[in-house]
Amino acid sequence: MSTMQEKRNIPDRLGTSTARLLGSWEMLLLGVAILIFIANAFASPYFLNAWNLSDATFNFTEKALVAFAMALLIIAGEIDLSVAAIIALASTAMGAAAQAGVGSFGLVMIGIGVGLGCGIVNGTLVSVLRLPSIVVTIGTMSLFRGIAYIVLGDKAYGGYPDSFAYFGQGYVFWVISFEFALFVVFAIGFAILLHATNFGRRIYAIGNNEFAARFSGIRVERIKFILFLLTGLMSGIAAICLTSRLGSTRPSIAQGWELEIVTMVVLGGISILGGSGRIGGVVIAAFVMGLVTFGLGLLNVPGIVMSIFIGLLLIVTITLPILIRQIRQRATA
């Protein structure tokens, strides 16, 4: 009887799940974030000020909004390198409208509309014409940014309505900015979309094996089109926040952000090859990059050094998982 009970006894998997969680990339990244936070606290006496910490969130919230959508796109095996140029074009359109006397609501609609329009262009070229996304978005990156330069030249747009400043400078409660609140809401929304819906499971299926996904009845092109549309939408929202925070528009706005956004996504554990990753990792990676750049700023480190750091970070986060996988394969063999 005791033997039968032993055979029927199902082992508790909580310990295994806990061990897997503690050994995950997200937990490692969280540990890095805590260490960076402590280092910044020792490096600068101004870091632990509540308002300074609130200001630190502006270093990553706008980029993270785009990174959430980019994460889904990369999991599906695609990429969009035109996101920063979409921000520039949307900001230019809003600036031109502000000069014509359009109010805050109209400016928000224009920013969102331009972002969606650019997403439709990218989505059509990739999902309908079946062109490689990296080639398409490099081309549209030059196209969208070029239009902004043609419209503005060496000038800048200003004169936005006072109420428009709330989106990038306003606070919903004490030190909690509107941008940070928006970041939290979208982080939860994208986590639910990716991890708790059939749409999210289909994204993983496409990224793991697009050929098999087609034969299982998944409408691959349609999902990719939606993902490019979503990336354009989030770029438009980021353009609204950034333009509102700066209070002006130049054609060089958000220059180089595509590199930082991709770095944020890959650092968060999203495989550049597609098929794996979690939104939680992207959230933690956003905090890591924000803390690093803010800490370096407090120490008056030049911007070029920050750019070098971002480039090195991207190289390391792409190569490290590949090296670990190769080492494990050799050890198994």
7 within a domain of the structure (yes/no): no
179 within a domain of the structure (yes/no): yes
13 within a domain of the structure (yes/no): no
Q: Any bridge partners for residue 173, and if so which?
A: 176
Identify which of 105, 91, 101 has the alpha carbon closest to the alpha carbon of residue 244: 91
Angle of the 178-195 helix axis to the 279-298 helix axis, nearest 10: 150
Cβ-Cβ contacts under 8 Å for 137 (sequence gap 6 or more): 79, 80, 81, 82, 122
For 50, 106, 164, 254, the CA distances from 101, given in Å and listed in that order, are 37, 10, 12, 24
CATH code assigned at 301: 1.10.3470
Q: Any bridge partners for residue 157, and if so which?
A: 249
Look at residue 23 in the predicted model and tell me its pLDDT: 61
12 within a domain of the structure (yes/no): no
16 within a domain of the structure (yes/no): no
CA pair distance 273, 269, nearest whole angstrom: 11
CA pair distance 270, 186, nearest whole angstrom: 17
18 within a domain of the structure (yes/no): no
Residue 84 near residue 260, CB atoms below 8 Å: no
Give the total number of structural domains in the chain.
1
- DSSP codes, 126-186: IIIS---HHHHHHHHHHHHHHHHHHHHTT--B----GGGGHHHH-EEETTEEHHHHHHHHH
CA pair distance 171, 300, nearest whole angstrom: 27
201 within a domain of the structure (yes/no): yes
Look at residue 161 in the predicted model and tell me its pLDDT: 95
CA pair distance 165, 144, nearest whole angstrom: 25
Whole domain around residue 203: which residue ranges?
29-332
R_g of the chain, CA atoms, integer Å: 22
Identify which of 159, 66, 163 has the alpha carbon closest to the alpha carbon of residue 105: 163
Per-residue pLDDT of the chain (333 residues; tens, 9 = 90+): 444 444 444 344 444 555 555 567 888 889 989 998 998 888 888 888 899 899 889 989 999 999 999 999 999 999 999 999 999 999 999 999 999 999 999 999 999 999 999 999 999 999 999 999 999 999 999 999 999 999 998 889 998 999 999 999 999 999 999 999 999 999 999 999 999 999 999 999 999 999 999 999 999 999 999 999 999 999 999 999 999 999 999 999 999 999 999 999 999 999 988 999 999 999 999 999 998 888 888 778 787 777 887 788 778 877 877 787 788 788 887
Residue 218 near residue 202, CB atoms below 8 Å: yes
81 within a domain of the structure (yes/no): yes
Residue 281: strand, helix, or coil: helix
Residue whose entry in the numeric block shows the structure tokens 């991890």: 195
